[in-house]
Chains A and B, each alone.
Chain A
Amino acid sequence: MFGQSLPPEVLGPIKEVFFQECEELLSALETGLESLKQGSADPETVNMVFRAVHSIKGGAANFEFLPLAQFSHVFEAVLSDFRSGSLAACPALFEDLLCAADALRELVAEAKGGGTPPNTESVLAALAAYAHPKDGAASPIVDHDTAFHAQKPQERAWRIEFRAEPSLYRNANDPVPLFRELGRLGDLHVELDDRALPGLPELRPDNTYLSWSCILRTPLSEQNIWNVFEFVVGEDCRLDILPCTIDPVKGPFADSPRTGEAVFTPRPGHPQQNRVIRVDLDRVDRLFNLVEELLVQQTTFNHIAGDNLIPDALPVYAEFRRLSHEIQEGLLAIRSQSLKPVFQRMGGLVRQLERTTGKAVKFTTIGGESEIDRSVLERLAEPLTHLIRNAIDHGLEPAHERERAGKPLAGSITLSAYHRFGRIVIEVADDGRGIDRDRIVATAISHGLVGANEYLSEQEIDALIFRPGFSTASDVSEISGRGVGMDVVNKCVRALGGRISVSSRKGVGTTFLLSLPLTLTLLEGMTVKAGDGYFIVPIASLRETIQLGSQDVKLFGSDKVIRYGDDFIPLVSLAAVLGYRGVGDTPGPIGMVIEDDLGERVVVAVDDILGQQQIVVKEIQGGMRADHGVSAATILGDGQVALIVDINGIVERLKPGAMRATNRSEAEGKRAIC
């Protein structure tokens, strides 16, 4: 037991490792249980699920986290019965096991951070109901052999002899991916036999001359190895897979000629236990900050000396720039994490809400393997939690209503993610009752958000739900609350530099669509000059840049509007709207048509455009978050600070003024006439 014998400064880091492992084990446990629930009968999944709980139990007992150890002991006993076949698979069992996994996660969190112990009684009772009458299936709580590492199943060695035939290449196959695939199954040694390779004059490019001998050590079955060659067996190759013994002294290739050796490592993105190292995130962040500084220095250097370099230095400098950008990208990749943990948390939330609301939910996730930067990932759980709560609470109808509508009794919620145009798109879709637009309009009128006779398109009506303080829930629910809802989600998403939109069909369902940047540390922006300062306008919000011809600019009272297509939209000077100059000042000659997340358009006038580039976002120190108009800053090539314009903030700033109201009623009046 570590509890008594080790001083805290030694114990601390060991505990840290244990909790990191718990995180991975819990993740594996949930994935495994989900796939078993979907009907998978893979014995390896069953083993993995069992080992996950077993390992947590071992560590918990070592550190004397007693509630955690006791709970995992009961949990393990049920899994053990399931593994041995004495407990039959049924949907209810997996529901209970998933609940137990949720409880286990809470217990781990409690062991890690203290706080109030979760109530696990009902879950324990459910598990106890499955307990094998004879019991004793689970191993004792303290198990030194397996305290930290999952038990490794028996490894076996296989000799794989592989020779490619010409038809393999003709059918567009390639041996290299096969070896990579093999490498994922276990420890792989590959030896190339090129003895059949003729001299250059005799070499025919469409013939094959190479064969490979592989030794694979793996806990998996022979069938798994055959599966790798699924698409090439037959005429494309000669293949032998034989069990073999490995001479511990001479090694696997003791009796074969050594002509060349290659060890294939699995591709990144498919981490194997031994290919992964754990690094403190602070260290990565520190490195990341250094690289950012390097990039700033490089831009500064370019500004000062870029044009005056001697010819010999130019390629060196180009290479230097390329390398520093590659380092930056590499680090971004290191910081990237898959969405899976967040998606799994949402799975837990759905199960919890099923219990509290009594609504059955079929929860599906798609694209959880998509990766985004940690800076975005960390702040994603909050908006998603709101959206899922809302979908279950307000979106999905109660069972009797669904039955009447001829829908499956269990409501369906799908959480999906995919990359599009360098951003990540996350969708939360339900098959519930859809948005009741009549009720939204009625509420909006009663809240004074729109006039009683205003004509609104469906899109405009849907956008109303993102307004602050808007809530149509006729009964106050403890799950979604009242008044805090979509506007909070909208705020979260906007703070991430993202956009949210909604599409809905009455009676069919509602889909919320979040489009988010992959990282918060880089931004594609247009550098502009306005007043005495430099600003960055995010490309994502920029529709177009226009020359401000005087014939299109109209005075509207003491403000200006500009004809843009069929509409008159407000024209403001960027410097003025940020409070640098009086509003009456002459706007610069270039107009940037910007659009906020709600589709509101404004033309901001600037003096000059300096160019488009990827900039490094720097937070302003001292907790200075000017909410209105500026989101952060960056450093330009000459070392000057430039402010990043917050488009939503700019549009917000115009709201109390006359310009926006004028534009709106004018535009609406026109639409009503048409």
Chain B
Amino acid sequence: MLTQPDVTGEFLVFRIQDQEFCLEVSSVREIRSATKTVPLPNAPKDVKGLINLRGVVLPILDVTSRLGLTIVSPPVNPVIIVVEFGPSLVGLEVDVVDDIISVSEAQMQEIPIVPTGGIQEFVRGIINISGRLICVLAIDRIFPAREMAVE
């Protein structure tokens, strides 16, 4: 009997310093190569600056720094993933975009408890695909707009 596989959704997988992360495809607007940014005064430290995306002034988040990852080797051609963030758009700068995966409910796992922490607050869950560990990022938590407002 044919049954519909238990798919929870499609995710865009990207890499930062050999770690794999992903975002729901539905929130991704486009992917483009990174360009020079214009720094924004008094912006949160993980916001690299602004770029002109066809007339839209887009803030770019340095995901590496936001997640507190150590840079072992700087990326050769970093890319920007343009994602929808509430009513507006933001850009996430990452090392490499890999592929799109379909993930079933069974492959989703809860966040493991780790001693250093730090990354947990930005992660919604983890995916285990044949031994690969892929973190599902939470866009609403990763973008530091709310902290700005508090400041």
Which one of A184-192, A211-219, A614-622, A661-669 is at the B interface? A614-622
| Docked complex: B25-45 residues within 8 A CB-CB of A | 38-43
Query: What are the interface flags for A559-584 relative to B under an 8 Å C-beta threshold, 1 for contact and 0 otherwise?
Result: 00000000000000000001110000
Query: What are the interface flags for B37-71 relative to A under an 8 Å C-beta threshold, 1 for contact and 0 otherwise?
Result: 01111110001001110111111000000000000
A626-B57 contact, Cβ under 8 Å, with A633-B50, A641-B50, A641-B51? no
> A639 to chain B: closest CB distance in Å?
5
Any A CB within 8 A of the CB of B88:
yes
Q: Is the CB of B145 within 8 A of A622?
A: yes
> Which residues of chain A are near B47, meaning CB under 8 Å?
624
A579-B38 contact, Cβ under 8 Å, with A621-B59, A622-B59, A624-B148? no
A626-B43 contact, Cβ under 8 Å, with A620-B59, A633-B57, A643-B38? yes
| Docked complex: A122-158 residues within 8 A CB-CB of B | none
Any A CB within 8 A of the CB of B89:
yes
Any B CB within 8 A of the CB of A102:
no
Any A CB within 8 A of the CB of B143:
yes
Interface size class of B (residues with CB under 8 A): 20 to 34
Any A CB within 8 A of the CB of B137:
no
With most chain B CB atoms within 10 A of its CB, the pick from A293, A626, A640 is A626
Any B CB within 8 A of the CB of A623:
yes
Any B CB within 8 A of the CB of A625:
yes
Q: Is the CB of B41 within 8 A of A641?
A: no
Q: Is the CB of A635 within 8 A of B52?
A: yes
Q: Is the CB of A618 within 8 A of B55?
A: yes
Q: Is the CB of A624 within 8 A of B43?
A: yes
With most chain A CB atoms within 10 A of its CB, the pick from B56, B59, B148 is B56
Query: What are the interface flags for A281-302 relative to B under an 8 Å C-beta threshold, 1 for contact and 0 otherwise?
Result: 0000000010011001100000
> A604 to chain B: closest CB distance in Å?
13
Of all chain B residues, the one with the shortest Cβ separation from A626 is B42
> Which residues of chain B are near A619, meaning CB under 8 Å?
57
> B141 to chain A: closest CB distance in Å?
14
> B32 to chain A: closest CB distance in Å?
14
Q: Is the CB of A626 within 8 A of B55?
A: no
Q: Is the CB of B41 within 8 A of A624?
A: no
> Which residues of chain B are near A289, meaning CB under 8 Å?
55
A641-B57 contact, Cβ under 8 Å, with A533-B39, A622-B89, A629-B41? yes
> A354 to chain B: closest CB distance in Å?
38
Any A CB within 8 A of the CB of B80:
no
Any B CB within 8 A of the CB of A423:
no
Q: Is the CB of B41 within 8 A of A580?
A: yes
Q: Is the CB of A622 within 8 A of B38?
A: no
Q: Is the CB of A293 within 8 A of B54?
A: yes
> Which residues of chain A are near B54, meaning CB under 8 Å?
293
A626-B41 contact, Cβ under 8 Å, with A621-B90, A635-B52, A640-B52? yes
Q: Is the CB of B40 within 8 A of A628?
A: no
Q: Is the CB of A580 within 8 A of B50?
A: no
> Which residues of chain B are near A635, meaning CB under 8 Å?
52, 55, 57
Q: Is the CB of B55 within 8 A of A621?
A: no
Expressed in whole angstroms, the Cα–Cα distance for A533 and B50 within the complex equals 12
Q: Is the CB of A623 within 8 A of B55?
A: no
Q: Is the CB of B148 within 8 A of A620?
A: no
Q: Is the CB of B56 within 8 A of A621?
A: yes
A622-B51 contact, Cβ under 8 Å, with A580-B41, A628-B42, A643-B38? no
With most chain A CB atoms within 10 A of its CB, the pick from B50, B58, B149 is B50
Expressed in whole angstroms, the Cα–Cα distance for A629 and B59 within the complex equals 17
> A553 to chain B: closest CB distance in Å?
24
Interchain CB contact (< 8 A) of B56 among A533, A618, A625, A630: A618
A640-B38 contact, Cβ under 8 Å, with A622-B145, A623-B145, A625-B148? yes
A533-B38 contact, Cβ under 8 Å, with A621-B90, A626-B43, A641-B50? yes
> B26 to chain A: closest CB distance in Å?
18
Expressed in whole angstroms, the Cα–Cα distance for A192 and B90 within the complex equals 62
> Which residues of chain A are near B41, meaning CB under 8 Å?
578-580, 626, 628-630, 643
> Which residues of chain B are near A629, meaning CB under 8 Å?
41-42
A296-B43 contact, Cβ under 8 Å, with A620-B50, A624-B145, A641-B50? no
Expressed in whole angstroms, the Cα–Cα distance for A581 and B17 within the complex equals 31
Any A CB within 8 A of the CB of B86:
yes
Of all chain B residues, the one with the shortest Cβ separation from A639 is B52
Expressed in whole angstroms, the Cα–Cα distance for A185 and B56 within the complex equals 47
Q: Is the CB of A292 within 8 A of B55?
A: yes
Q: Is the CB of A621 within 8 A of B57?
A: yes
Expressed in whole angstroms, the Cα–Cα distance for A635 and B54 within the complex equals 9
A580-B39 contact, Cβ under 8 Å, with A618-B57, A620-B50, A641-B52? yes
Expressed in whole angstroms, the Cα–Cα distance for A673 and B6 within the complex equals 85
Of all chain A residues, the one with the shortest Cβ separation from B49 is A641
Q: Is the CB of B145 within 8 A of A643?
A: no
With most chain B CB atoms within 10 A of its CB, the pick from A622, A626, A630 is A622
Give 23 CB contacts A-B under 8 Å.
A289-B55, A293-B55, A533-B38, A578-B42, A579-B41, A618-B57, A619-B57, A621-B58, A621-B89, A621-B90, A623-B86, A623-B149, A624-B145, A626-B42, A626-B148, A627-B42, A628-B42, A629-B41, A633-B50, A635-B52, A640-B38, A641-B38, A643-B38
Assuming A621-B57, A621-B58, A623-B145, what are 6 further A-B pairs, CB within 8 angstroms? A297-B55, A533-B38, A618-B55, A621-B88, A624-B59, A633-B57
Residues of A near any B CB (own CB < 8 A): 289, 292-293, 296-297, 533, 578-580, 618-630, 632-635, 639-643
